[in-house]
Structure 1
Amino acid sequence: MTATAADRSARLRSLIAPGIAALVCLAILLGLGFWQLARKGEKEALIARIIERSRAAPPAAPPAFDAWNPTADEFRRVRATGTFLHDKEALVHGLAPGEPGRALQGFYVLTPLKRDDGSLILVNRGLVPTELKDVKSRTAGQVAGKTSVTGMLRGSEVRTLFVPESDPARDQWYTRDIAAIAAARGLSNVAPYLIEADATENPGGWPRGGNLRVDLPNNHLQYAFTWFGIAACLVGVFSVFAWRRVHDPVEPEAP
């Protein structure tokens, strides 16, 4: 039985609620897609900045503490000279590239470097595997006397949603939090940045530096296409649903 004008009017009114819900979902999906496109541009700019600064030669001296500007200075290649305070090192849980297809699990060794003027810079000397957590198992790598370190400047690591919170009381560290580590070790006059040591080999082979990745993954375009694709599917499904709701024949009433 063909729907009358009154029936179609009622059917159109019945589409208001699902239509509003579909529009809200569509707005969210499109917003996520455009956000991923914006993140793509940000990631590309970051990768370009890291590559440019990682190739700078010769390395520069670290900036003055009060002149540190994360936007301008982070990822700059620098060289610092001083003496490692190995008794103040902190071990931060982490992963680093290992054998092909496998990540090396262990701890990043953050050691204060004391300079001639008494100031301190935390140096991420690199990763040691879990079995070398005890410093007695890697004494060769505890460099004594004045030494120079080359690497890239980084700010404190921001804890993400899925990373546990560090517990200074138990000396459990999950992020490279400069201020918290300095406070836990009783250090003062510490730089607001740290140095990620390059791949220069340490005596004994550990810690292993050079873990800062320049080839950061940039999958935001694929993510954007995914969100836009879901949005297109939503439009298609709702269009079919609305057309059928308005144009399907009226079912005859049972006698």
Structure 2
Amino acid sequence: MKRFGTSKEKCTQLMLENGFVSKTCLIEKEHTRRGITNEMYYYFLAKTSELLDTVFFVLRKKTSQVTFLHVYHHAMMVVVTWSMLKYEPTYMMIFIRNINSFVHVIMYTYYCLSAFPALKKYLWWKKYITKLQLVQFISILIHFAMVLRTSECTLSYLSCFVVVFNTSLFIVLFGRFYRESYINKGKMKKGEDNQNVQKFDEIKNNDKMENNCIDNDSLNFSNNGIRSKIN
């Protein structure tokens, strides 16, 4: 029986030893079962702690940020992680845990830096975090398909449905958020800029027309004065 020096195997060691997709059912082996369940447990605790985001938004009276996407994403991650840990622990969750933790480290690093006003001008990469989240969900679906195709340890039909449905829904919700937050707002800003330019041109043309009218009136007045003197 192989050990890594402790009773708890690290997830990185699990991945190095077994790859992204294990052909054998690692949960049936005692020395890998402990490592998988331990890592899933710590991942569950991390997902539970993320519920504090909602609490902080409410306390700071930023209820506009407590959207359906925010609540559903955090709540379902807790429910799904707990369910998989209790009823169907699987090596596939190690991949999900790793890629999701990587994305969240970047995301919370951004939030931490944004708390300092002097650094906000350097935080131009916010939209790329959403892109990274979308890449994450697509990667999970691809990995899941590889597990079903090559691994001997497949999930139940219910777990398959939950993984595919929620991951697909996350793609839709985060994709909509990206479109509304960055693409549509960018178009609106561009349209407003065009309107401002158009208004500026109209004002400029109106001023030019008024100046021409004033010049014509002055010229007519001068001509009338000259005619009066001649007469």
The answer to which structure has the higher helix fraction is 2
Question: Is TM more than 0.5 here?
Answer: no
Radius of gyration: which is bigger?
Answer: 2
Which protein, 1 or 2, shows the higher relative CO under an 8 Å CA cutoff with sep ≥ 6?
1
Q: Which protein is richer in strand relative to its size?
A: 1
TM-score (norm 1): 0.28
TM-score (norm 2): 0.31
